[in-house]
Structure 1
Amino acid sequence: MRSKVWLAVRIGAVVGALVGAAECLALLLRIPSWPLDTPTIPVAMMIYGFIAAVMAGVWGLAAWRRLDHQTFQVRTVMCTLLAMTYLLGGYWIHRWWSPQLLALPSLLVTGLWTLAWLIGSWILLRPPGRPSASFETSWVRPLRGLMLGLLVVAGASLMLPSLWIRTHQVLGARDVPGGTQRPNILLIVMDTARADRFSSYGYHRKTTPNLDRLAQDGVLFERASSAAPWTLPSHATLFTGLYPAQHQAERPHPRLDSRFATLAELLYDHGYQTAGFSNNHWVSREMNFHQGFEHFDDMLDGGRLINRLAVVRVMKKVTGLVTRRLDDGAEATNQSVRRWLKTVFDPGRPFFVFINYREPHFPYKPPEAFRSRFLRHPREPVEKVLEVAASLHRFAPAAHQAARVDRPMRQLLNDLYDGEIAYLDAKIGELLGELETRRLLDDTVVIVTSDHGENIGDHGLFGHQFSVYETLLHVPLVLRYPAGLPAGRRVAERVSLVDLLPTLIELLSLAAPSLQAALPGHSWVGSSLVVAPDLPIRSEYAAPVPMLARSRTRGQAIDERSFMRSLKSLSRGGVKFIWASDGHHELYDLRHDPGESQNVIQQFPDTARALKAELDQWLTAMQSAGTPEDVEPMREWTRKELRALGYLQ
């Protein structure tokens, strides 16, 4: 008995590993930079191999007395394939036709599918009427060679990322101009991080101890503002130093055109080794953000691959498993950056590394240690917490439904959001520690900021759409560079992320006079840190047509007039004017009403008219540079990701 059962376990492991490798390869073929994630193949082989080995072992215990040795081997292969078909087929049936596991139709489908599997297994347990040795051995002999082949595939998949990185760079290496010694640049963008949730910005919770220490060693800008309230246009502004009205990377043109010079291209031209790591599909090769980078890693294309395996999805669905260890979070990003530093980085050249961390973007799913840190009721079941977050995500396109989320639910989501920020702070601390260990930190200009903030019930809204309030525009901004910036400095004046590129040009003494002259922003630095006290701060937002279309298809009754509109804002001297395409303009006194709770446009119409005239004049001057380039249809992979985040219908 023991030998037969052990044989069944080995056969199951090989067949399961083959199925896991096949599914993983099918997923990889849909990813442009697929060689970077081939290490997922041996992981998939181990997961599927283990599951199949257990199922085949159970089969062996039931079949070892009933079947002769040759038939036992063949039937074990068939039974393992049947079990894999049951698992994978059941997953796809539920995903396509019956996604609600506990609904009656879904339970009926599960019952019928399980009955079919049990009948098939029972048929395989029946002794054969006439053995056929040649047929049976022809099924089994290739398994030994297959096992060796799988081992070769696993080994090659582990080595392929390093080889691909070295041979498949976006750009060729460029020598450092003679006589120049410039610092490294590390630009970290925390997706969807609002400044008022950082302890260094006065938040009552200690969410960001690592960034607090970074601020103590550098410069913290207390009132930094994004030029747009969502990812694509905000990153385009960071990279080009242009406003959305100029670069036009907005709806309905979701692409950063090649006609614009980017920060990465500028630094590459000055001898920098450039590498980008992005966790957001809006900041990807497909959106043309890789221009200027020798290496660009679309983390979400491959980083989530382990979570796309059917068995992993079933495990998470059935057991409620939530862990960043299997996710595409900051840990995976840090691993990719470490791998780049270890295998690609040339110490003879300064580097520019750009990182977009997905955290704390919705859904708020920090690891358990950070999830429970701030919850008012830590013992509340994780499943309930996630159910609240998931239901809110489904409401996201119809932001008016915020009123249906009561105060305790909002607080719970705020607690989870704080946990996300604390988790990301820890991972940023680990990355900075890695640079310090490599003795690179003090020779690096570290820039930590966010592309935009987040509404979590603020102004009756959730997410980062439909408004240009400070909850979306006020972002953290910390710069550290011991050789060029003062330590412990806090800048109270308002600044804009549109100023980052001209600031770096001046800080690094880059030779780019024509580009510098064309930029609308202002440098923050000179011989000492100087910021003009009354710079105008502007932002733009285009009407979110696809999101509202999604709500229409769900039959939700929405007064679209409050949402189907474009918005622009101008802040000067503590007063903020919001222009709306539907004519419902707003005016706020940020000095006395930082939460923008009282629209005072009726009390101060002259101030509103003056700011509107200034905004109109500025928009007329901010003409787009040429005709936008053609945009290719979005890949279905990308569309699914953005649909899951609530951006598309």
Structure 2
Amino acid sequence: MCFLLLIFIITGCGREKGFTLKHPNILLVSVDTLRADHLKCYGYPFETSPFIDSIAERGALIKNAVSVSPSTLPSHTSLLTSLIPRKHGVVRNGYILSNNLLTLQKILKNEGFTTAAFVSSYALSSNFNFNQDFDLYDEKFDKNRYPGQQKIERAANKTTDAVIKYLKEYSAKKPFFIFLHYIDPHWPYSPPPNYSRLFNPSYRGNFDGGMKSIYSLRSKLAKGETVSDEDKKQAEALYDGEIRFVNDQFKKLFSELQSEEKLQHTIIVFTADHGETFFEHDGYLDHSPRVYETTIHIPLILYYEPKIKSGIKINKLVSNIDIAPTILELAGIKIPDEYEGKSFANLLVGENEKGSNREQLYVFSESTRKAPYLENGVNEYLLKAKNKWPNDPFAKSIRGRKWKYIETPYLGREEFYDIKNDPNERNNLINSNDNRIKSEIVRFRNLLDFYKKIYVPPAVKYIDRKSIENLKSLGYIN
């Protein structure tokens, strides 16, 4: 499920409040469920992200960044371990991270960092051991955000205020690593009142963005009933309001960093864990069941004025498992051999893309469940089979610069797209008679088979009843 911002303060020759830091401070902000093409810097026509766009205009825009999973906990675990889910074992939301994982925060802690996390959703609760290697883990969820529901989320303004308070009180003479997670764009789509009508002020229907409205809409889809264009537009408009709210909260945090003199020699990296689909494929509204571009194409923006050329656009393919190695290289810390991702720091200092080592890279992505309202014609044998890997029946893809192959075993479906010329995945080429395309399909099938042979024993599923109910209320599990 997310959206990430990393701030590095390179202070090897700089000073912060009277002392010299050996390594940069790092602030990683993850905004849940933010798809790349709903930011204006990625071509969106509406003003959802003016402050984020301003960073993109002054820094590097990575045009082809892809997530390995369209689910919150698996994707975030990949982000912080530089491993695909088949290697770290966190199959789906609600599973427990192993203590044997070499997390980014563990490496930074060993290098002398103070580590802190501020999370805004129960999906990243310490109950799932996501808090490992953090000195401080702030998960104070807002009991009043959604009346009648349990304390499972926290709004962006309250999370921002908690981080600002921490920064104001921070006095340690060593670098900090802060992981900051915003949940707001994730459903329910409930932006604050002054953001709820920004993008569709004329709407007069009954869709309010709450979970009851969402489930009602999905029920219509399951029954084959028509969902009005007005309701579809309103769902996206409320989602956009959430993005704009987070944009403004990040601006507030950025201003605080400036006032605290913590932005000297600053590198900013901005990305997401996954996106959201609004009726584009099979008419569904969701993220976890599919690996289309709407759910796995994520924003990634980098800014560092002394080194990154203003306005540069990088076309190379990047995965979110590449972020942790890049952080370490930029911070001057050795990248461990266990990390699967590849640093792209060389592209940020002006290396010619044609000379980079990323030309033949591919990104493997894997969904974590079936779409509960698209089950007609499902091969139940596949769903009940004792697979070595629990997600084997579900959608998975291999994404390159030009081609993308998708396999969905439980639907008996294969898809192949020229993603460079058909970014919306409208023209399925799987039955093409073109010999060149046929050859590419075989090659991508073989690549996917290679990844399907990789697996570790899945992490332990958390079976506490309260946790199950909390995850259900968020729509994370059926």
Same fold (TM over 0.5): yes
Alignment of 1:67-466 (within 5 A): 181-251=22-92, 254-298=95-139, 302-307=140-145, 313=148, 328-343=154-169, 345-375=170-200, 377=202, 380=204, 384-386=206-208, 390-396=212-218, 400=222, 404-459=226-281, 460-466=283-289
Tell me the residue number matched to 1:37.
none
Q: Which residue of 2 aligns with 1:633?
A: 463
Contact (CA 8 Å) 2:67, 2:75: kept in 1 or not?
yes
The total of aligned residue pairs comes to 435
- For 2:420 and 2:224, the matched residues in 1 are separated by 27
The verdict on how the C-alpha distance between 1:182 and 1:252 changes in structure 2, with shifts beyond 3 A counting, is closer
Deviation at 1:257, TM superposition (A): 1.3
1:540 aligns with 2:366: yes
Alpha carbons 1:447, 1:480 under 8 Å: kept? yes
Q: CA deviation at 1:387?
A: 6.8
Name 1:480's counterpart in structure 2.
Answer: 303
> Residue 224 of structure 1 aligns to which amino acid in structure 2?
A
What is the CA–CA distance in structure 2 between the aligned matches of 1:388 and 1:457, rounded to whole Å?
Answer: 17
- Within-5 A mapping of 1:26-45: none
What residue number does 1:63 align with? none
Counterparts of 1:397 and 1:187 in 2: how far apart (Å)? 37
Residue 303 of structure 1 contacts residue 332 of structure 1 at CA under 8 Å; is this kept in 2?
A: no
- Output aligned runs, 1:42-53, within 5 Å: none
Residue 520 of structure 1, CA deviation: 2.1
Provide the rounded CA distance (Å) in 2 between the counterparts of 1:388 and 1:313: 12
Is the 2:63–2:315 Cα contact (8 Å) retained in structure 1?
Answer: yes
CA contact (8 A) 1:279 1:357 kept: yes
Query: CA shift at 1:619, angstroms?
Result: 3.5
* Residue 578, structure 1, aligned to residue 414, structure 2: no
Q: Deviation of residue 593 (structure 1)?
A: 1.4
C-alpha distance in 1 between matches for 2:286 and 2:25: 34
TM-score by length of 2: 0.84
CA displacement 1:216-268 (0-9 Å, x = unmatched): 23222112111111111110110100011111211487122111110111111
Alpha carbons of structure 1 residues 389 and 511: separation in structure 2 relative to 1, 3 Å: closer
- Preserved contact between residue 208 and residue 421 of structure 1 (Cα < 8 Å): yes
Task: Tell me how far 1:528 sits from its aligned partner.
Answer: 3.5
CA positional deviation for 1:561: 4.2
Superposition TM-score, scaled by structure 1 size = 0.62
| Residue 344 of structure 2, aligned match among 524, 538, 542 | 524
Question: Is the 8 Å Cα contact of residues 395 and 401 (structure 1) preserved in structure 2?
Answer: no
Asked if the contact 1:586/1:599 (under 8 Å) is kept, the reply is yes
Give the AA of the match of 1:339.
K
Q: 1:491 aligns with which of 306, 314, 325?
A: 314
Q: CA deviation at 1:295?
A: 0.5
Distance 1:256 1:509 in 2: 27
Cα distance change on mapping 1:304 and 1:182 into 2, 3 Å = same
The 2-side partners of 1:557 and 1:567 are apart by 14
* Counterpart Cα distance in 2 of 1:645 and 1:253: 12
**8 Å CA contact 1:185, 1:444 repeated in 2:** no
1:424, 1:180 → 2: CA distance? 30
For structure 2, the residue ranges without an aligned partner over 5 or more in a row are: 1-18, 384-392
Shift in Å, 1:573: 3.7
Q: How much does 1:449 deviate?
A: 1.5
Distance 1:610 1:217 in 2: 39
**One of 613, 617, 620 as aligned partner of 2:450:** 617
Q: Is the 8 Å Cα contact of residues 69 and 366 (structure 2) preserved in structure 1? A: yes
Question: The residue matched to 1:200 in structure 2 has which SS?
Answer: helix
Q: What letter is aligned with 1:615?
A: L
2-structure distance, mates of 1:371, 1:484: 39
Alignment pair present for 1:605 and 2:433: no
1-side partners of 2:419 and 2:239: how far apart?
25
Query: Do the aligned residues in 2 keep the contact of 1:376 with 1:415 (CA within 8 Å)?
Result: no
Q: 1:561 to 1:437 in 2, by over 3 A?
A: farther
Segment of structure 1 superposing worse, 388-397 or 457-466: 388-397
Label 1:278 to 1:432 Cα distance change in 2 as closer, same or farther (>3 A): same
475-484 or 414-423, larger mean C-alpha shift? 475-484
- Name the structure 1 match of 2:477: 648
Letter in 2 for 1:334: T
Provide structure 1 residue ranges, at least 5 long, that are not aligned to the other structure: 1-177, 315-326
More helix by percentage:
1
Distance 2:110 2:312 in 1: 31
> SS of the counterpart of 2:123?
coil
Q: 1:434 to 1:492 in 2, by over 3 A?
A: same
CA distance in 1, matches of 2:253, 2:49: 14
Shift of 1:465: 2.7
Cα 1:396–1:190, aligned 2, differ >3 Å: closer, same or farther?
farther
Q: Which letter does structure 1 place at the counterpart of 2:181? A: N
Report the residue type matching 1:181 in the other structure.
K
One-letter amino acid of the counterpart of residue 142, structure 2: R
Quick check: 190-199 or 457-466, which moved more? 457-466
**Distance across 1 between alignment mates of 2:264 and 2:97:** 32
Instruction: Judge conservation of contact 2:93–2:476 (CA < 8 Å) in 1.
Output: no
% of aligned pairs identical? 29
Distance 2:226 2:128 in 1: 36
Distance in 1 between residues matched to 2:450 and 2:420, nearest whole Å: 25
**Root-mean-square deviation (CA), in Å?**
2.8
| Other-structure match for 2:389 | none
Q: Distance in 1 between matches of 2:20 and 2:164?
A: 29
Q: Which moved more, 1:249-258 or 1:192-201?
A: 249-258
**C-alpha distance in 2, partners of 1:366/1:275?**
27
Residue 507 in 1 paired to residue 330 in 2?
yes
Q: Is contact 2:121–2:141 with CA below 8 Å preserved after alignment?
A: no
Post-superposition offset of 1:450: 1.3
Deviations 1:19-39 (A, max 9, x none): xxxxxxxxxxxxxxxxxxxxx
The aligned runs of 1:53-68 (5 Å cut-off) are none
CA gap of 1:420–1:630, structure 2 versus 1, over 3 A, is closer
SS of equivalent residue, structure 2 residue 30: strand
Q: Provide closer, same or farther for how the CA distance between residues 398 and 412 of structure 1 changes in structure 2, counting only shifts above 3 A.
A: closer
Which secondary structure does the structure 2 equivalent of 1:188 belong to? strand
